Amino acid sequence: MITISIKKGLDLNISGRPGSDGVQPGDPDHVSILPLRIPYIVPKLVVKEGDRVKQGSPLFYDKRDPRVSFLAPGGGRVQAIRFGERRSIQEIRIALSPTEEKTPFPLFSEYDIDRMPRTGLVTAMLEGGVWPFLRSLPFRDMVGPDETPPAIWVVLENTDPFHPSPESYLSGREALFHFGLKVLSRLTPSVRVVKGSLSSLSSPSIAERITHVFSGPYPAHDPGVMVYHTRTNPTENRSGYVTGQDLLLVAGLLKNGFFPVERFVTVAGPFSKKPETIKTRIGAPVSHIVSVKEAQATVRLIQGGLFNGYPVEMDGCMGLFETALTVMGRGNQKEFFGFARPGFNKPSYSRTFLSALRQRPFDMDCGMHGEERACVNCGICATVCPVDILPQFMMKAIHGGEVEEALKHGLLDCVACGLCAYVCPSKIALSALFKQAKTDYYKESM
């Protein structure tokens, strides 16, 4: 087992940490899928409003590779298809039927997985809709069906405080997890299972499969950070990764013969009425799984990571890959004579406020608490970057249109953790700039 300690990053001391209880709120009346939130795909619909679908029926495919299908996360009627700008497909909503039907898929045993041709396994995963859960670095697109990634990282946990713990979603599913590892071993020469520490793992059989222990502050468990700190040759930059929960979905399809939809989601944050881990399903409506402490107008819901997720409204739904919903204050209220206050409640990386003395978690909010200014070359952003980028110089290269220079500064290594933007005293949205530059580079070079 390889143990690596990541030094750079930042531990977030935020209130509203969830428990790992796995409460089940019952079935929602509808589920959705959000094609616009699946990176880089070009969706082509195969259903229309009013169609009846089973759990596991195709809803759309990726025009770039029509073998990649996205399946219905529930059985019922296609209630609505919402379009955005230039007819981009934002949401496909399915009203669930009380007698939900499931599409059957072929079943495989471990013996079959060991002996079937690799192409047969890939086809089964493509047709069963679980291939998109295998994602690829550095762009976080999906692994190409004809590619053999040099390694696949199985990421069991996230250092972001508000994500389901492996104990919540692995408990009682150890056999399925091992089956998933068997599947991965047919797709890559190196399967790497990674965790932050072994102490919290209650299952000895899973602890035995851990190949890497990565400890350190957020975002030590990001697969991009792992590759950056372990790669021995450039081909490893195209390593694949899959989260522990998504590996269970892959295994569930092949072992049980139907498209699995179970999801553990954390609902947490300072304004969550009851921070907890919920057992729900892919595409569950937000209103079904969250209740907020304050009036909805004063809070903001974010899905995905705290610093790299995206906002969602109360009438929205969970994205295909998302397993965390954070309830934050909007932070847009004006504070009377705020500049003259000691700031006990204001988290501050630069220890500007008396909050530096505080041990208790903070009620963080989404406010910028200031306006964007020019870079003052303080270098604080570089002190937190887990992949040793100098964000201030990369920003200048991107603004100057010097793509090669940005690549030399490590643009492709950036994991979009958002820390550089969080600590920047000039409030520069560095992370969003880098994410966009990386996306543009991907689109130009593919």
CB count in 10 Å sphere of residue 177: 22
Instruction: Output the smallest distance, CB 109 to ligand SF4, in A.
Output: 42
Q: Which of 118, 379, 399, 400 binds ligand SF4 (CB under 6 A)?
A: 379
Half-sphere CA count of 80, side-chain side, radius 13 A:
10
DSSP code of 236? G
Instruction: Output the smallest distance, CB 242 to ligand SF4, in A.
Output: 21
The closest alpha carbon to 163, from 287, 21, 20, belongs to 20
Contact, 399 vs 392, CB < 8 A? no
Positions in 283-312 near ligand SF4 (CB under 6 A): none
Residue 302 CB-density burial (10 A; 0-12 exposed, 13-18 middle, 19+ buried): buried
Instruction: Output the smallest distance, CB 306 to ligand SF4, in A.
Output: 13
Residue count at the site for ligand SF4 (CB under 6 A)? 28
Candidates 37-45, 127-135, 138-146, 370-378 — which segment interacts with ligand SF4 by CB under 6 A? 370-378
Instruction: Output the smallest distance, CB 420 to ligand SF4, in A.
Output: 3
Instruction: Output the smallest distance, CB 40 to ligand SF4, in A.
Output: 19
Instruction: Output the smallest distance, CB 53 to ligand SF4, in A.
Output: 39
Q: Report the sign of the C-alpha dihedral through residues 407, 413, 417, 423, in that order.
A: negative
Instruction: Output the smallest distance, CB 10 to ligand SF4, in A.
Output: 9
Q: Where are the alpha helices (DSSP H) in 171-280?
A: 174-185, 204-207, 223-230, 244-256
The closest alpha carbon to 45, from 74, 82, 11, belongs to 82
Tell me the DSSP string of 46-57.
Answer: ---TT-EE-BT-
**Alpha-carbon span 106 to 258, nearest angstrom:** 8
Rounded CA Rg of the chain: 22
Q: Is the Cβ of residue 312 or residue 394 nearer to ligand SF4 in the bound state?
A: 394
Q: Which of 124, 389, 406, 437 binds ligand SF4 (CB under 6 A)?
A: 389
DSSP code of 203? -
Q: Is the Cβ of residue 14 or residue 428 nearer to ligand SF4 in the bound state?
A: 428
Q: Which of 199, 232, 359, 377 binds ligand SF4 (CB under 6 A)?
A: 377
Q: Which of 36, 213, 354, 380 binds ligand SF4 (CB under 6 A)?
A: 380
Instruction: Output the smallest distance, CB 392 to ligand SF4, in A.
Output: 4
Q: Is the Cβ of residue 180 or residue 304 nearer to ligand SF4 in the bound state?
A: 304
Q: Report the sign of the C-alpha dihedral through residues 97, 99, 104, 110, in that order.
A: positive
Candidates 10-18, 196-204, 342-350, 380-388 — which segment interacts with ligand SF4 by CB under 6 A? 380-388
Residue 211 CB-density burial (10 A; 0-12 exposed, 13-18 middle, 19+ buried): middle
Start-to-end C-alpha separation, the chain: 36
Q: Is the Cβ of residue 33 or residue 414 nearer to ligand SF4 in the bound state?
A: 414
Q: Is the Cβ of residue 95 or residue 376 nearer to ligand SF4 in the bound state?
A: 376
Q: Is the Cβ of residue 168 or residue 392 nearer to ligand SF4 in the bound state?
A: 392
Q: Is the Cβ of residue 271 or residue 434 nearer to ligand SF4 in the bound state?
A: 434
Instruction: Output the smallest distance, CB 223 to ligand SF4, in A.
Output: 12
Q: Which of 385, 397, 406, 437 binds ligand SF4 (CB under 6 A)?
A: 385
Instruction: Output the smallest distance, CB 245 to ligand SF4, in A.
Output: 23
Q: Is the Cβ of residue 31 or residue 419 nearer to ligand SF4 in the bound state?
A: 419
Contact, 210 vs 153, CB < 8 A? no
**Alpha-carbon span 38 to 217, nearest angstrom:** 27
Positions in 390-419 near ligand SF4 (CB under 6 A): 391-392, 414-419
Determine, following the binding rule CB under 6 A, whether residue 113 of this chain makes contact with ligand SF4.
Answer: no
Instruction: Output the smallest distance, CB 201 to ligand SF4, in A.
Output: 27
Q: Is the Cβ of residue 212 or residue 396 nearer to ligand SF4 in the bound state?
A: 396
Three-state secondary structure of 338-389:
HHHCCCCCCCCCCCCCHHHHCCCCECCECCCCCCCCCCCCCCHHHHHCCCCC
Positions in 421-440 near ligand SF4 (CB under 6 A): 424-426, 428, 430-431, 434
436: helix, strand or coil: helix
Positions in 123-182 near ligand SF4 (CB under 6 A): none
The closest alpha carbon to 265, from 306, 321, 197, 313, belongs to 321
The closest alpha carbon to 71, from 127, 135, 146, 142, belongs to 127
Interacting residues with ligand SF4 (CB under 6 A): 375-381, 384-387, 389, 391-392, 414-420, 424-426, 428, 430-431, 434
